Structures are given as structure tokens and as C-alpha cells.
Chains A and B, each alone.
Chain A
Amino acid sequence: MSESKEVQNRKRKLENEYETEKEEEKVKRILYSKPELLDLADELLMEIAKKLDGESLHNLSLTCSHLKTLVQDKQLWTEAVFTEKDLDIWEILRRLKYLTVGTKYLKIYGDAKKANTETRPLKNRQTFKEIVKRIALRSPLIERLHFHQIWFDWTKDWSITKFPSNLRSLVFTNCYLPKDRNRMNKTFTNIFEHMPQLEELRLEYCNFFEPNDLMPLSKVLGLKVLSLRGCKRFRNCVPYISLSCRFGFKNLEVLDLRETNISDSEMQCLNSLKALKELLLEQPEMDNASDDSDDESEFQPFIRTNNRRSSSRNEEQQPSNGSTNNNSNQEPSSSNQNQQPLSHIPQPSTSRNSHENNDNNDFNNSPSSPESLSDSLPESSSPTEEAPSRTIFIQANITENPNQNARLQVIISDDIPHASRYLTLARNREYRAPLTISDRGMLAFGVPRANLAGNLIFLGNQPNDPNTYLERIVLRNFRNITDVTLSHLQTNAPKLAFLDIRGCSQITREAVESFKITRGSCQLISNFDFEE
């Protein structure tokens, strides 16, 4: 018995020793083992998380449940930036879950590109509506929103009033309206009531901008920055821009119209923007424009509207006939006389218009086979030169009766000289932009000195102040901007502090040097800065 007791005791002792050894091991492991990330205090993990962008935080949250809880802390999401990769709609909706009431800024990249129009997920649904709905729900007080490459597929009942109303800055860049959708006309209606705090609005490289949007936008009283950079549909919008600039945009300070189709006529409206300090203009690069297939679709409505206007005459004069190329030389004079009532008063002659006069092209066009087009320039020397309207014969498939190769007439009067652009486009299948800015546009800011004005005629009241108070001007790649503009700005732009005229090939070194001498405080960037 005593023996067995001894054995038991020894056994217990051993067990105890084993126990303590185990404890020690545990302590040792805690004390001397290598520390792990998750051993750090949450406070310190938070310091790390604060330095991460939205996408990295999202990845971190997928690693384990502890980090997931940590990442959901609302102080990490005052600014939500998801720009690391192009997200499809599912991924976007997942990211939007991180938004909180305290979120002030969201920047998110989608996957909208022309190439994947057909393969985008949920292409029959209004994904953008869903995105905006969720943002408004989770972060009604958000102040800045930036959408990049988001499908602008919310077309039915779209309205800006569904957005959070506290926005100070709203930015769309490269957002794409799929071609199978039609945008609503009233997209921006009531924006001025809905977003009284809006200061910055950018619609850059977006194909959904329409010139009539200028009207509601002009009513946003606090708007300081407006960018329509790269919006190709900004063109031919004198009515909208003249009204909106005269009666609205009261506080607009920065206007970015780079890579739009702005022309002198629109430029002349901008001088009524009293608060404007910075004006950015740039002629788009030809190379980039040629692969822009948007212009192709824009060609169609133009043909159609003209078709309607002159359809009755078409019926009289042009029996539907597929091969009338030979007749085209005789047609213009007679048809021009018929069209006289439609013709418009020509604009005062300028360098640009005189250039247009030479573009008196008669040619046939068939959209299905553009290579077969013929072009008969000699017509420009015909008596029709005096007539303000031109006649151009186009062989085209008319949408109403697609089986017939009917002939239709397009009248291009002098007040829409840009029209020749479409015709050139259709002929060559390549984008050329005759819409450009010349000295005429720039001289509209202030009143030019008599020796600069040339044949410029002021209709109506001249502005009282001969000066313009622009502070920063970017004028890039305009071939028709000459020393005249530079000389005008030299004397009539007292507040000018920055001027970029790179790519304006007509500006001479002498003019640049003379400008630099008289306006030492103004930073002038020209091509000559990059020589030698």
C-alpha cells in the first residue's frame, strides 16, 4: 500500500512538473516568439489602415474576421478612394458598402469603355441609378463625388435630383453612355435648386453631355469651376451659351473647354462672364480624334434634319436614282436658285470664313461604301460663289426607305460652316475639325485696339470696358491664333498672370519676346521655350 502511495505521489509530482513546464512553455512562447501583425494593438493597426486606400482596405478586410471588423471603422472612410483597378458593377456595389454617414468624398473607377459595351454585366439594367441610390442612402451628406469610367446607363427617369444634395463637387470623367440608350433631355434640370452648394462640376470626356445642359448649369449660383473638357458635343451651341453666359454663371471663375468643338462664335459669348478668371482652350489632337467613332453616329442626325427640310424639293428635282454622279456638275446652279429663300445672312467675313468659302465641295456620299466618293472641287469657281448657300449632293441610305438608294440634298448655308466637317468626315472616314478658334474669338475679350480689329465689325453695343480681366489663359494648338491675339492680350489684359500658347504655330518669336518685355509679371509659355 505504502509503495503504491509513493508511486502515486511520484506520479503526481511528475504531473505537476509537467504542468509547470507546459505553463512555462506557454509564457516563453508569448515572451519570445516572433510577434505577428495581429499582435499589434488595434489602435496601431488603425494607424496602418489609415494609410491605405479603399481598395487595399477592402483586400485587407477579406483576410480575416478581426481585420474585417477593424476595416469597417468609420474613421477610415471619410474619404473612400477606389482607383486601384477598374471595377465592374458587382464590385462597385460591394465597395459602396463601406460608405458611412461621415463619408465626405468618394472616387470610384468603373469599367466603362467602348470596347466592352456589349459584355458589361447587367446591360439591361440601370446600374448607375443603383449606384447613386446607394450612395444617397448611405452617405446623404457626402460632399465630393468623382465617377470615372462608370456606365452612364441610367436613362429612364434620370434626374440629378436623385443625387445627395450636399455636393460641393461633382465630377464625371470618361463616363460612357452606351449607344443603345438614349439620354433624357432633362438630366440636369433643377440642379440649381437641388445642389445649392455645388462649386465644381466636371464632365470630362463624357459622351452624354448635350449643349442644352448649359442652361440648367448656368443657374447654379455658386458654381466656380466648370469643365467640359473633351465633350465633343460641345459645338454649335451659340444660342445656349450666349443666353447662359449673359444671364447665368454669375460666379464662374474657371472654365475648361479644352478638346471641345468650340468656335469663334461661342467664344464671343464668353466675354460676358464677369467673374471668369481662368479660361482653358485646346485644339484636340488629330490622331486621337480619328479613332473616335462617336462622330460617325453624329453624322446621321445631321443628314436627317436636312433631309426633312428639303424633302419636298428632293421629290421634285431628284427622282430616286442610284447613279447620278454625272449630273452633279449641272445641278448646283439651278438648285441654288430654288434654295434662295432658305439661305441665311452671311456672317462678317473673317479669316475662318474665307477659309470656308474655299471648301465649296460637291461630292457624292454613300455611307456603306465611302471609298467610292467623288469630289468635284471645280464647282467653287461657278457663279454660285456669290450665293450664300451651297448645294452638295449626297448619295445615302435614307432611313425611311432603306431599300431605295434615294438622293437627298443638303444645304449648307454660311452660318453653319461647320457642316462641311461632317461631309469631310463621311468622305474620308476620318475626323477633321475645321471648328477652331481664331483671333476673332480672342479679340472678343475686351475691345481690341483699332489697328488690331481689322475687318471685325461689332454688332450692337460695344462693351464699355476695353479690358478683359482674365488671369490665366491656356490656348493650345490653335493654328489660327496669331500675333494679333498676343498683342491684344499684351495691352488689354491687365490681370493676366499666366498664358500658355504652346502649339499656336502662327505666333512669332518677335511677338513672344515683345510680350515678355512689356509683361514681365505674366508667365508666358510658348513653343520657343522648348527650343535649343
Chain B
Amino acid sequence: MDIDRPSDPQVSVVSSDGTMFHTTLKSILLSGTIKDMIEHIGEGGVENMGAIPLQNVDSKTLEIVIKWIEHHKDNIQPTSEEIKDKTADFIDPWDENFLEMDLDKLYNLITAANYLNIPQLLWLSTRKIAMLIKNRTPQEIRSLFNIEDDWTPQEIEAVQKENQWCEEK
């Protein structure tokens, strides 16, 4: 290891609409996708590496992602495959606050987290949607997420008819 080398070099990423963002190697390594890329470049290549193009993430979303990875660069092991189980109730208040955003941004974030392979961010953002679905009636879910009711009358009838008699006493 080169002692003189800065422990956390700068890295640039470019969004799909051409905006460039600067962040540090340590934070960007939280993304499994970029980690794989950098590993392929090999030792010593990081400093000379140009900006990393991210074709599938627009600038607004990338900004959010970078904010998140910079906050968490020290408390998450990039290699950890640990996904919290679905009953985990404790969420870092910072994350909870961070996820307060419009639904469309949240969808983009989910897609980006998936593309960039950031398991913890994917877990958090999908959980956020799940929490919105929880304890809501089908009608409420429809109006919240703009889902079109596409049942045909026949289907509705079929659902109502499916109740069968139980066996006699």
C-alpha cells in the first residue's frame, strides 16, 4: 500500500443528463455496481480514472443517492450482504427523514438503488413504499399510487362467488 496516497480519493460520476458529481471513493464503493467496475480497473487505476458515466440515473436522483452514500460511508460495510428482515422496526431517524420525498422521486430512487446495487438503500426505499401500503384499504392504495381499477364486472362477481359452504355440523 502506498502510504502517501490519500486514503479516500475523489471520484466523479456523470448522470444520464450529463451533470457531473464529485464524491469520494469510500462512499461510492457502497454501490456494488461501481465497486465491480473499479475492481476491474485494478490497483492504481482509481486516481487516473475519468468520470464514471451512469446512463440509467438522472441528475436529480443521483444527487439524492450521493447524499445518502456520503452519510453512510462510515457505518455500512460495502461488502455486507446483510438485508434486514422484514420485521425490523428500527430505522435510523436520519434515514426516515431522508426518505421524506415525493413518490416519483422515490420510484426513481428505488430504480437507481437497484441499478447501482446498494442493498441497504434498496431495502430502505422499498420499505418506505411498503409502509405506505400497510394498513390501507384497496381503494386507498389505488388513490395513493394512482392505480387504475381494471376489474371487469365478471371478475368482481367471481370474487364474490368464491365463498363456499363449509361442511355440515
Contacts and interface: CB of A to CB of B under 8 A. Distances in A.
Interface of A: 34-41, 43-44, 47-53, 56, 59-60, 62-67, 84, 89-90, 93-94, 122, 124-127, 129-130, 153, 156
Contact of B163 (A56, A65, A90): A90
A40 B167 contact: no
A127 B135 contact: no
A59 B166 contact: no
B57 interface: no
Closest 6 CB pairs of A and B: A51-B130, A62-B138, A130-B166, A37-B145, A34-B104, A47-B126
B61 to A, nearest CB: 11
Contacts, number: 106
Contacts of A49: 130
B134 A56 contact: yes
Contact of B122 (A36, A47, A60): A47
B147 A67 contact: yes
Contacts of A52: 86, 130, 133-134
Contacts of B163: 90, 93-94
Contact of A156 (B108, B122, B169): B169
Contacts of B86: 50-52
Given A40-B111, A64-B151, A94-B162, 19 more contacts: A34-B104, A37-B103, A37-B107, A37-B129, A44-B114, A49-B130, A50-B126, A51-B127, A53-B134, A56-B133, A60-B138, A64-B147, A65-B155, A84-B135, A93-B164, A124-B168, A126-B167, A129-B167, A156-B169
Contacts of B80: none
5 contacts: A36-B147, A59-B136, A59-B141, A62-B138, A122-B166
Contacts of B145: 36-38, 63
B146 interface: yes
B6 to A, nearest CB: 36
B148 interface: yes
Contact of A40 (B110, B142, B149): B110
Nearest to A37: B145
B90 interface: no
B135 A129 contact: no
B150 interface: yes
B146 A37 contact: yes
A170 B114 CA distance: 39
Nearest to B136: A59
Contacts of A48: 126, 129-130, 133
A139 to B, nearest CB: 18
Interface string B111-153: 1001000000011001101100111111001100111111100
A159 to B, nearest CB: 14
Contacts of B123: 47
Nearest to B162: A94
Given A93-B163, A125-B168, A56 B135 contact: yes
Contacts of A156: 169
B147 A38 contact: yes
A129 B166 contact: yes
Interface centre among A44, A49, A84, A122 (most CB of B within 10 A): A44
B58 to A, nearest CB: 10
A39 B33 CA distance: 22
B165 interface: yes
A438 B155 CA distance: 64
A63 B159 CA distance: 13
A44 B126 contact: yes
Contacts of B103: 37
Contacts of B142: 63-64
A93 to B, nearest CB: 7
Interface string B49-90: 000000000000000000000000000000000000010000
Nearest to A49: B130
A55 to B, nearest CB: 9
A51 B107 contact: no
A192 B70 CA distance: 58
B110 A59 contact: no
Given A93-B164, A125-B168, A39 B135 contact: no
